Amino acid sequence: MIKQAIIPLAGLGTRLLPLTSVFAKELLPINGKPGIEYILDECIEAGVNEIIFIISKKKEMIKKYFHNDKFYKSLIKNKKDPRIIKEYKKILKYKKKIKFVYQNTPLGTGDAVLRTKKFIKNDYFLMLLPDDLIMKKNCSKDMIKLHKKYKVSIMASMRVNKKNVNRWGIYSLSKKLDKDNFIISDVIEKPSTNEAPSNNAVIGRYILNKKIFKFLKKQKKGKGGEIHITDSIKAMIENKFIFIGHKFLGKYLDCGSMNGYIKSTLEISKL
Ligand code: G1P
């Protein structure tokens, strides 16, 4: 049963400067709604009932945003605006489900995941990366369904342009399970075009076995001096853990780069 999700939110957001110089990128509006709310809606709709946010001191405005129910309540007292009442209820719903843990030094996604170790209750949990929005089809829900069938780890996958493989984790595929799912035989973080075994990229939805924490504890720094989740996944695959790559069906929006962020508002407004 996948009932918990984790969301790393301590990143500096340098790809979105200057917007992120004083503001958390996950709160930036995408078509009138903070990006993080799309991610929350996806995992709540997929049946998750506890979401662990990994933030940092610098990103405390995220905590403030979800703990601002008293402010809404005081506004509603004087003015019964239905829109504000709706927002108030939404914030309360989110607040009840979110827990916060801290990663004050940005040491990478792998290190962020390790911070959640003592909170994870079941054998498997979901991770969503907030830069990656997937619209129209609930990718987390589809992956949870797949997990129920195979009881192994799963990562979302999408074909990318060969020229851009160095922006992603890239898979080697072995067996095809069906037209949308395959067994992963290796994964490499941000390879050069020559090193890349394919153009199948890791997109930010993961169902992970909690044994990953053992691997993360031993994980050495990789590309760019960061501890990458991809490197621990690679080590798990080498140790015979099974990972499925899932070609998701929804519309992908890359909100972690300036071009992608600008486009995502336009795309969502068309949906
Ligand atoms: C992270 C992962 C990478 C993955 C990507 C998906 O990279 O390390 O393997 O392909 O998310 O968005 P980041 O966006 O943190 O550079």
Among 111, 202, 221, the mutation site with the greatest number of ligand 1 atoms within 8 A of its Cβ is: 202
Strands 50-55 and 98-102: parallel
> How many angstroms separate the alpha carbon of residue 67 from the centre of ligand 1?
28
Q: Other CB atoms closer than 10 Å to residue 65's CB: what's the count? A: 17
pLDDT at 271: 87
pLDDT at 216: 98
> How many angstroms separate the alpha carbon of residue 160 from the centre of ligand 1?
13
pLDDT at 80: 87
Respond yes or no on whether the N-terminal peptide bond of residue 29 is cis (omega within 30° of 0). Answer: no
> How many angstroms separate the alpha carbon of residue 72 from the centre of ligand 1?
35
- β-pair partners for 209: 124
Residue 190, phi-psi category: left (phi > 0), alpha (psi -120 to 50), beta (remainder): left
pLDDT at 79: 83
> How many angstroms separate the alpha carbon of residue 190 from the centre of ligand 1?
8
User: Helix/strand/coil (H, E, C) string of 134-177?
Assistant: EECCCHHHHHHHHHHHHCCEEEEEEECCHHHHHHCEEEEEEEEE
Number of compact structural domains in the chain: 1
Q: Other CB atoms closer than 10 Å to residue 188's CB: what's the count? A: 22
- β-pair partners for 33: 30
Question: For residue 15, how far is the Cα from the chain centroid?
Answer: 17
Q: Other CB atoms closer than 10 Å to residue 17's CB: what's the count? A: 11
| Burial tier of 244 (Cβ tally within 10 Å: 0-12, 13-18, 19+) | buried
What pTM value is reported for the model? 0.96
E-assigned strands of 9-160? 29-30, 33-34, 50-55, 98-102, 124-128, 132-135, 153-159
pLDDT at 137: 97
pLDDT at 78: 85
Atom of ligand 1 nearest to the CA of 201: 10
Question: For residue 67, how far is the Cα from the chain centroid?
Answer: 21
Question: For residue 213, how far is the Cα from the chain centroid?
Answer: 17
Among 9, 25, 107, 109, the mutation site with the greatest number of ligand 1 atoms within 8 A of its Cβ is: 109
Residue type, 106: P
Q: Using a 6 Å CB cutoff, which residues line ligand 1?
A: 109, 129, 131-132, 168-169, 189, 201-204, 228, 230, 256
Q: Are 103 and 112 in contact (CB under 8 A)?
A: yes
> How many angstroms separate the alpha carbon of residue 204 from the centre of ligand 1?
7
Helix (H) / strand (E) containing 202: strand 200-209
Q: What domain range includes position 231?
A: 4-270
Q: What is the CATH number of the domain that holds 79?
A: 3.90.550.10
pLDDT at 159: 97
Atom of ligand 1 nearest to the CA of 189: 9
pLDDT in tens, the chain (271 residues): 899 999 999 999 999 999 999 999 999 999 999 999 999 999 999 999 999 999 999 999 999 999 999 999 999 988 889 999 999 999 999 999 999 999 989 899 999 999 999 999 999 999 999 999 999 999 999 999 999 999 999 999 999 999 999 999 999 999 999 999 999 999 999 999 999 999 999 999 999 999 999 999 999 999 999 999 999 999 999 999 999 999 999 999 999 999 999 999 999 999 8
